[in-house]
Amino acid sequence: MGNDIVDLSTAGTRGKSRDTRFLKRVFTAAEQQSIRAAENPDLVLWTFWAAKESAYKILSKLRSSPPIFAYRSFTCEWTPRHGQHTAVIRQLHVTCPAVHARNGHACAPLRVDIHVATDTHCVHTYGTPNRCPESSAYWTMVGKKRLDQSAKASCVAAQMLRGFSDAERCSIQSRASTEVRIAAKAALARRLNMEAGRLQIIRPTRNKKPQPPYLLVDGAPGGIDISLSHHGEWVAWCCSGAGLP
């Protein structure tokens, strides 16, 4: 799985649709046209951005090494569908560039399915490389939360020391990366009916570059795919697994 969140309240997200150089660098001609024609161009821009980020995270888990992230090589197309009162939910498809798989064989371009949830605060995208409906054999869990602005940094640091292993701490660089792990592990613990302390989210490095995170249950691979994201005041996560309640 892959997910990404964009906090629409940050200064850097406002008016970006008027930045012609940025549009040409990041988006295809068709995407640029969709952005300019939209009632809310900035919202569409950051939706495409987050979808490309989510697709890249998915592709990075499937390939022998993370590909170079050239935004324009990830192409978006989407069809609106009926949403809810406070959030507009759409199905978005992203075609990823062709690179080599982990077994060394060349692969055709990958098409991934991305869900988009937007509101006045943020854009959250999440998806999988296949259409895998939630069922008794396969489940997906998605969540997001706003950072607690009243919490003191010292409290967050104390939580980190108490709730994370040494292997987890080495990849935690900020309050947001701390809180997204706390929230994701708490949600997973409820889903799996176990203590959060039995879960570890490990993000290794290779050649000094961070790799996709993975989940351990009681110190062993738990067969659960996980993706984390944070931006501004928001954190988000998505998880999927098979054969678990």
Which structure tokens are listed for 206? 């290779």
In a domain, 232, yes or no: yes
Q: Name the phi and psi angles at 125, rounded to 5.
A: -120, 145
> Are residues 123 and 18 located together in one domain of the fold?
yes
How crowded is residue 80: how many other Cβ atoms within 10 Å of its Cβ? 11
Which structure tokens are listed for 204? 């290794």
Q: Which residue has the higher pLDDT, 56 or 109?
A: 56
> Are residues 124 and 144 located together in one domain of the fold?
no
In a domain, 133, yes or no: no
> Are residues 11 and 123 located together in one domain of the fold?
yes
Q: What is the mean pLDDT of residues 209-216?
A: 91
* Nearest of 107, 92, 51 to residue 74 by alpha carbon: 51
Q: Name the phi and psi angles at 241, rounded to 5.
A: -160, 175
In a domain, 180, yes or no: yes
User: At 244, is the secondary structure helix, strand, or coil?
Assistant: coil
In a domain, 73, yes or no: yes
* Separation CA 47–CA 49 (nearest Å): 5
> Are residues 143 and 221 located together in one domain of the fold?
yes
Give the chain's domain count. 2
Q: What share of the chain is helix, strand, coil (3-state, %, to 5)?
A: 35, 35, 35
> CA-based Rg of the chain, rounded to a whole angstrom?
18
Contact 176, 211 (CB under 8 A): no
Residue 188 parent element (H or E): helix 175-192
> Are residues 9 and 80 located together in one domain of the fold?
yes
pTM listed for this prediction: 0.86
> Are residues 142 and 218 located together in one domain of the fold?
yes
Contact 24, 32 (CB under 8 A): yes
The pLDDT tens digits for 23-32 are: 999 999 999 9
Q: Please enumerate in sequence order all residues whose Cβ is within 8 A of that of 49, keeping only pairs 6 or more positions apart, or say none.
A: 4, 6, 26, 71
The pLDDT tens digits for 126-159 are: 988 754 444 445 788 999 999 977 665 655 666 6
Highest mean pLDDT among 26-30, 57-61, 98-102, 113-117: 26-30
Q: What is the mean pLDDT of residues 25-52?
A: 95
The residue whose two tokens read 């590909």 is 67
* Nearest of 107, 120, 96, 95 to residue 43 by alpha carbon: 120
Average pLDDT, whole number, for the chain? 84
> Are residues 205 and 150 located together in one domain of the fold?
yes
User: At 215, is the secondary structure helix, strand, or coil?
Assistant: strand
Look at residue 51 and tell me whether its pLDDT is greater than 90: yes
> Are residues 16 and 58 located together in one domain of the fold?
yes
Residue 229 structural domain: 138-242
Strand partners, 88: 118
> Are residues 144 and 123 located together in one domain of the fold?
no
> Are residues 38 and 153 located together in one domain of the fold?
no
Contact 200, 216 (CB under 8 A): yes
* Nearest of 109, 75, 117, 113 to residue 92 by alpha carbon: 113
* Domain end call among 128, 155, 179: 128
CATH code of the domain containing 185: 3.90.470.20
